[in-house]
């Protein structure tokens, strides 16, 4: 919304200062300027996080969303019916895409015990979750290791049953501690980005003293 207001201010000033054509030509030029500025701000807003593969992906999504938003505002002026369709269909589409699991695994082999989980694979892209039922007042020590055989990306985090990230205390490079503030199902989430290798996690659950 802030970017949209800023773009309107910019295009308004440009129109007054530089565009001296007839009214129809001015309107066309104003739309062209907006067509450039919307994707630009959709891209530039993510550059504050630095350059990385994930930043570039975020920038691409930002450009796409900004472009769709611009098209929506443009065609909404032409049709009231389009306004309602745009405000319903586009959000529903993003919700559906967000809930699609694009995880891909090849030659995946896993083993789970009461206190550990391990997996090896020739290809892993996406997420793998390990569910643990924990009780308020417990603490859990997580020891994890990841073997990377091809330089692919990988990560690890924990989510609660409401899909919120859970904060943890880092003991060392491979060990984390989680103090359970609320009973429920917690998910240990390993992520892979076109990686070949294996990972293993062990956990010890203790009561608070």
Contact 82, 89 (CB under 8 A): no
Compute the mean pLDDT over every residue in the chain, rounded to the nearest whole number.
76
Give one word for 95, left, alpha or beta, with left for phi > 0 and alpha for psi -120 to 50: alpha
Closest CA to 182 of 162, 202, 204, 156: 162
Q: What is the pLDDT of residues 89-114, one digit of tens each?
A: 666 666 665 566 678 899 999 999 99
Q: What is the pLDDT of residues 126-141, one digit of tens each?
A: 899 999 999 998 999 9
Closest CA to 138 of 167, 172, 177, 112: 177
| Residue 126 in tokens | 């996406």
Contact 123, 141 (CB under 8 A): no
Residue 82, pLDDT score: 63
Q: Which residue ranges form the domains of the chain, and what is each CATH number?
A: 2-98 (no CATH), 104-207 (2.60.120.380)
Using 50 as the pLDDT threshold, list the residues of the chain that sit under it. 1-11, 13-21, 24-25, 28, 209
């Amino acid at each position: 919304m802030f970017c949209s207001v800023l773009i309107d201010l910019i295009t308004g000033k440009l129109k007054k200062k530089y565009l001296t054509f007839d009214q129809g030509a001015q309107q066309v030029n104003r739309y062209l300027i907006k067509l450039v500025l919307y994707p630009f701000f959709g891209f530039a807003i993510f550059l504050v996080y630095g350059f990385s593969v994930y930043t570039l992906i975020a920038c691409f999504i930002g450009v796409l969303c900004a472009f769709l938003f611009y098209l929506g505002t443009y065609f909404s002026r032409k049709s009231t019916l389009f306004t309602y369709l745009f405000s319903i269909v586009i959000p529903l589409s993003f919700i559906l895409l967000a809930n699609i699991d694009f995880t891909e695994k090849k030659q995946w082999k896993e083993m789970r015990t009461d206190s550990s989980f391990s997996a090896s694979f020739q290809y892993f892209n996406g997420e793998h979750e390990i569910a643990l039922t924990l009780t308020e007042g417990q603490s859990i020590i997580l020891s994890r290791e990841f073997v990377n055989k091809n330089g692919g990306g990988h990560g690890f985090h924990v989510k609660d049953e409401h899909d919120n990230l859970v904060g943890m205390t880092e003991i060392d490079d491979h060990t984390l501690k989680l103090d359970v503030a609320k009973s429920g199902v917690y998910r240990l989430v390993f992520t892979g980005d076109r990686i070949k290798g294996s990972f293993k996690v062990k956990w010890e659950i203790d009561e608070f003293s």
